[in-house]
Amino acid sequence: ALAATVDGAYLFIGETDGHTIRKVVVETGEVSTLAGSGQSGSVDGVGTNALITNPSGMAVDVDNTFVYFSDALFNTQQIRRLEIATGAVTTLAGSFNGNVDAFGRDALFRSPAGVALNGAGTVL
């Protein structure tokens, strides 16, 4: 998965086999890990204390504050958010495999493959 800031200064790469989200500074080529430890899982946290399973379908908000992504593989079926400045990962919706309309973690998905933002930066 790949997403870029509106100004094109940064790229964000979701490494599905590496269970991380990496940031690339376009001007210098510098690469750093923003979130994920390399171990598959679903734990909200900051930086390498967060566990990510299969980051995909990424989008950056218009303020370049957050990267939104789907995280889906086997039992993990979630929509999550990464705060760019801090590396904090938060689960917005979903938990396990299923098909349930609800709010937050009570909502269940079957293989969410992406996210989209509208012009105001709201997750669709």
pLDDT digits (tens, 9 = 90+) for 42-56: 899 999 999 999 998
CATH of the domain at 64: 2.120.10.30
Query: Count of domains in the chain?
Result: 1
In a domain, 7, yes or no: yes
In a domain, 21, yes or no: yes
In a domain, 67, yes or no: yes
**Which of 38-44's residues contact partners 24+ apart within 8 Å by CB, and which partners?**
40/73, 41/76, 42/71, 42/76, 42/78, 42/91, 42/95, 44/88, 44/89, 44/90, 44/91
pLDDT digits (tens, 9 = 90+) for 14-71: 998 999 999 999 999 999 999 999 999 889 999 999 999 999 889 999 999 999 998 8
- Whole-prediction pTM: 0.86
What is the extent of the structural domain holding 14?
2-106
